[in-house]
Chain A
């Protein structure tokens, strides 16, 4: 191995935390769990930011008084910045919560991850065809349905 200035130059080649939020670092086939993982990380980060904003916003009555707060909230109908904020927050929270339940089931209780089996073509790992995969698709489906329902309630009710 070549040396320069007395030091061996070995390339670290580790993508770092970007691999947790960028689904295109690797293009792995048959791996929707990775997409779910990336979405879980992104929604987790966004929720942490939104909760901080939420704490600031809910402190408004202390700063401007309850009347001004109630007046502002009463305007939150139709498509406004406040309802849009609610809508996006609901989407983030629904995904993080639903996927969290799936992860609790698979990670802590070890359910829905299939049973070890002897390899046979097409050599697909048992956990990738176990019911956790169906659970994952159910999470995506429920997420869409619940988010749409929340949008209907926030914008039109």
Chain B
């Protein structure tokens, strides 16, 4: 999703009508409610929903946590597009000529109540692709004191995929996930590519074999809506095409991957210390090396007393 840094500086319409899609699991009924609220500059859709909840209707149910686009809890469809409510400025979605904001629960996720969606199936899919580094030598991994080597170029190839916050917006935007429940979805498939591309992971053959099925990347038709709505620039659409291309090469016996080895340290050699940058120099009179050699004794009992 493209980010407009000036959106927060714009003044939204003074009064905005919020159309909120409601769902009652007791009756199974769905309906729209309208609320008019007064806005202020910098107000987000989440702020507005919380204001509605506090002042107008306490029964609205939604999920949120960090309020700063990190936790990925407040995904919802705002004016027809999946967005994070905490990152969406009202000035971005409401205009003076049309001061109306519609808010719906994310599509393709079951709705528990109002704007609250159930992510159980989504996280099951995430879990099924084993989203963690797998090494054949478990002892080496568990007792390691050194890192696995990776070049900056290799790191850049997978870094953007590591930024995923599992907000589910990509899954909600996907037209394939809309019609096929079994489809793993952009988020899980991007994770598969993230680990296939990661030189520290040794299970790339198993991952490619596992994902080579109908509900894997073959179901994707490159509508690229997942990349267009991603709030973290993860680009799952490209990850899926790379994964599919890798699968074609793998089946033709042409896919090769470098697996990183662990860095080795010569016997007795101590890891050289990097000098502190100028802005992080210690105060005059403080000897860091002396403090490391002989840590000061902190009188905890005295402090507690």
Interface size for B (C-beta < 8 A) is 65
* Chain A at the B interface: SS class: loop
- CB of A127 to closest CB in B, whole Å: 4
The answer to the question of A56 belonging to the interface, with a C-beta cut-off of 8 Å to chain B, is no
Neighbouring B residues of A64 by C-beta, 8 Å: none
Q: Which residues of B contact A (CB under 8 A)?
A: 1-5, 23-28, 30, 77, 79-82, 105-113, 117-118, 156-161, 163, 173, 175-179, 181, 220-225, 227-235, 237-238, 241-242, 244-246, 248
Neighbouring A residues of B109 by C-beta, 8 Å: 13
The answer to the question of A119 belonging to the interface, with a C-beta cut-off of 8 Å to chain B, is yes
- CB of A130 to closest CB in B, whole Å: 8
- CB of B13 to closest CB in A, whole Å: 19
When the two chains form their complex, are residues B26 and A9 in contact, meaning their CB atoms are under 8 A apart? yes
A31 to B232 CA separation, bound complex (whole angstroms): 16
Q: Which residues of A contact B (CB under 8 A)?
A: 1-2, 4, 8-20, 24-31, 33-34, 36-38, 40-41, 103, 106-110, 113-114, 116-119, 121-128, 130
A126 to B236 CA separation, bound complex (whole angstroms): 10
Contact of B221 among A1, A30, A37 (CB under 8 A): A37
Q: Which residue, of B110, B159, B175, B227, has the highest number of chain A Cβ atoms within 10 A?
A: B175
Neighbouring B residues of A4 by C-beta, 8 Å: 25-28
Knowing A9-B28, A123-B2 touch, does A116 contact B235 (C-beta < 8 A)?
yes
When the two chains form their complex, are residues B25 and A110 in contact, meaning their CB atoms are under 8 A apart? no
Knowing A10-B118, A117-B156 touch, does A110 contact B179 (C-beta < 8 A)?
no
Neighbouring A residues of B225 by C-beta, 8 Å: 26, 28, 31, 33-34
When the two chains form their complex, are residues A14 and B181 in contact, meaning their CB atoms are under 8 A apart? yes
Closest to B217 in A: A107
When the two chains form their complex, are residues B111 and A13 in contact, meaning their CB atoms are under 8 A apart? yes
A124 to B221 CA separation, bound complex (whole angstroms): 20
When the two chains form their complex, are residues B160 and A113 in contact, meaning their CB atoms are under 8 A apart? no
Knowing A9-B25, A13-B110, A13-B111 touch, does A19 contact B179 (C-beta < 8 A)?
yes
**16 new A-B contacts at CB < 8 Å, known A33-B222, A122-B2, A125-B227:** A10-B25, A14-B177, A14-B178, A14-B181, A15-B178, A19-B175, A27-B80, A28-B173, A31-B223, A33-B224, A40-B221, A41-B221, A103-B221, A107-B244, A108-B244, A119-B233
